[in-house]
Structure 1
Amino acid sequence: MFLAASCGGARDTMDASLKAVRARFAGQGSVCGDPALIGERIGAVEANGICGIENAVLLRAVDGVALSTPATLNCGTAKALKTWVNTAARPAVGRRGGGVGELKVAASYACRTRNSQRGAKVSEHGKGNAIDIAAVRLMDGTELSVLHHWHDRKNGPTLKRMHKAACGTFGTTLGPGSDGFHEDHVHYDIARYRGGPYCK
């Protein structure tokens, strides 16, 4: 009985958040052939012949979770983000604060080199393959910030669980302690490597 009630409660919370987001973005359609991905199609995005996205979308919400800033991505990244929300972020947070309400987006599409370093290869951001997340905001307004709470005893374990669970859904996952460039956000992209996911 307890398990059934628990599962039902989690489902009700998800349904309620999805309805709230749909109301907030009334008039916005779904993208990528998935009704849970709310946003609009942009089409081709090009920059200097180096960067670009063939079929870009402006993503505003993912399965009931709003994005603080609309993210310009390709559909592969948008779908991976949905998978991460449902298999990593939501399970890590659980019912705390009413569940996951919003992702604070630090970056999405941007035509630049990796970590903005001169001479480096084009970043996955320049292909629409990546999204950076600075914080997760709960339904009650509580914010779990990568910069302020990663090493925090109360909130750090939650952030680290959802980050660890991103490995595999995304080809690259980078966070605090990975390379010095990701101390205030986590970076997720869908690049694929012969040796498997690169997760730090």
Structure 2
Amino acid sequence: MDCDTAKALDRWVEKGAKPTVGRLGGGLGQINVIAGYSCRTRNNQAGAKISEHGKGRAIDISGITLANGKTISVLDGWKKRSDRKLLERLHKTACGPFGTVLGPKSDRYHKDHFHFDTARHRGGAYCK
């Protein structure tokens, strides 16, 4: 992971994730990362452009684990009303520190995780 992405992740954890989780389950215990640097194309599709993962500028998060050990996954939590609200807030708070924020509503490739990257777009952050 490059320095800008590491700094964006730290900003999101400190100013987005921790305040969003608050005291729920004793607070945020762990961010569950399923992908970081990976030299591959976007969505692993042949002929596609190099993914931001291949440039060290992206991270994929499958969920969080609370201090009490409860895990809230994007895949399962998105279907539960109580967990979905928390996950939607976590997703929203990443928009700003990161230039691209994708989740279950974006496409079939992101149904089980959040994709955060530091790519910049002309119109500002792209969050879906």
Alignment TM class, shorter chain as reference: over 0.9
User: C-alpha displacement at 1:157, in angstroms?
Assistant: 0.4
**Any residues of structure 2 matched to 1:24-43 within 5 Å, and which?**
none
Point out the structure with max Rg over C-alpha. 1
Q: Which residue among 59, 70, 92 is the counterpart of 1:131?
A: 59
Q: Report the identity percentage.
A: 58
RMSD: 0.7
Greater per-residue helix proportion: 2
Deviations 1:76-107 (A, max 9, x none): 11110010011211111110111111111110
Higher relative contact order (CA 8 A, sep 6+): 2
User: C-alpha displacement at 1:151, in angstroms?
Assistant: 2.5
**Any residues of structure 2 matched to 1:1-200 within 5 Å, and which?**
73-200=1-128
Deviations 1:159-185 (A, max 9, x none): 110101111110000000202100000
The gaps in structure 1 that reach 5 residues or longer are: 1-72
Q: Distance in 2 between matches of 1:142 and 1:199?
A: 27
- Say if 1:88 and 1:163, in contact at 8 Å, map to a contact too: no
Q: Distance in 2 between matches of 1:159 and 1:86?
A: 16
Deviations 1:33-84 (A, max 9, x none): xxxxxxxxxxxxxxxxxxxxxxxxxxxxxxxxxxxxxxxx111111100100
With the length of structure 2 as denominator, give the TM-score of the two structures.
0.97
Q: Distance in 2 between matches of 1:187 and 1:76?
A: 16
With the length of structure 1 as denominator, give the TM-score of the two structures.
0.63
Deviations 1:114-151 (A, max 9, x none): 00011110000001000000010011101110000112
Moved over 4 A (4+): none
